[in-house]
């Protein structure tokens, strides 16, 4: 059985340095949500010398556009979206202090290089398990770009939000390692 690490946000370099590919992680604390349209707006703010709607230092952005909540629920299903759409924006957010990203799918070489340079990790959430993931989300507030609907930036309070480290700060890639294993 692989190691399970419990993390509380915000993340520090010291914590990030301990995370290696393949490690299962349970996150408790705050996650921020954003998809491509919100990422573009966030990067535009940074590039224009303006403040972001939240302090990104040490934070994790979850690539999700949660479905509306049914009555009595905090959120609807909240599964990860494909991360590659955020690749044009992720390096700039890492420069600003972001320490983690959650999504699904491979990342570009530029993003992997930026993770090494800025000490940021990429976690994968389980695709297809949106309703299960939603159970670890305890509170959700829209904090920016409400006009984007489900893709607005949200602050999520989570408890034992389960992910796996796919890219660490050492340039390792769990997807690549997995493919190598089966090529033999």
pLDDT at position 1 is 47
Domain boundaries, the chain: 4-183
Measured CA to CA in angstroms, residue 113 lies from 17, 87, 121, 168 at distances of 15, 12, 11, 10
Kindly list the catalytic residues: 39
Architecture of domain 4-183: Alpha-Beta Barrel (3.20)
Predicted model pTM: 0.94
Q: What is the C-alpha separation between 22 and 122, in angstroms, rounded? A: 11
End-to-end Cα spacing for the chain: 23
Per-residue pLDDT of the chain (184 residues; tens, 9 = 90+): 467 999 999 999 999 999 999 999 999 999 999 999 999 999 999 999 999 999 999 999 999 988 888 898 899 889 899 999 999 999 999 999 999 999 999 999 999 999 999 999 999 998 777 788 888 999 999 999 999 999 999 999 999 999 999 999 999 999 888 777 776 6
pLDDT of residue 175: 87
**Stretch (H or E) spanning 53:** none
Beta bridge partners of 103: 124
């Amino acid at each position: 059985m692989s190691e399970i690490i419990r993390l509380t946000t915000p993340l520090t370099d010291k914590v990030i340095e301990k995370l290696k590919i393949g490690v299962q992680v349970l996150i408790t604390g705050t996650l921020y949500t954003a998809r491509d349209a919100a990422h573009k707006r966030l990067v535009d703010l940074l590039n224009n010398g303006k403040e972001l709607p939240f302090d990104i230092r040490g934070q994790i952005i979850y690539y999700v556009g949660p479905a509306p909540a049914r009555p009595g629920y905090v959120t609807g299903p909240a599964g990860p979206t494909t991360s590659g759409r955020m690749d044009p924006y992720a390096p700039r957010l890492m420069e600003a202090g972001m320490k983690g990203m959650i999504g699904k799918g491979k990342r570009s070489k530029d993003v992997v290089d930026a993770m090494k340079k800025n000490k940021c990790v990429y976690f994968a959430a389980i695709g297809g398990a949106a309703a299960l993931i939603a159970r670890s989300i305890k509170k959700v507030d829209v904090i920016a770009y409400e006009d984007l609907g489900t893709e607005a930036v949200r602050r999520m309070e989570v408890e034992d939000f389960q992910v796996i480290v796919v890219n660490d700060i050492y340039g390792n890639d769990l997807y690549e390692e997995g493919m190598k294993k089966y090529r033999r």
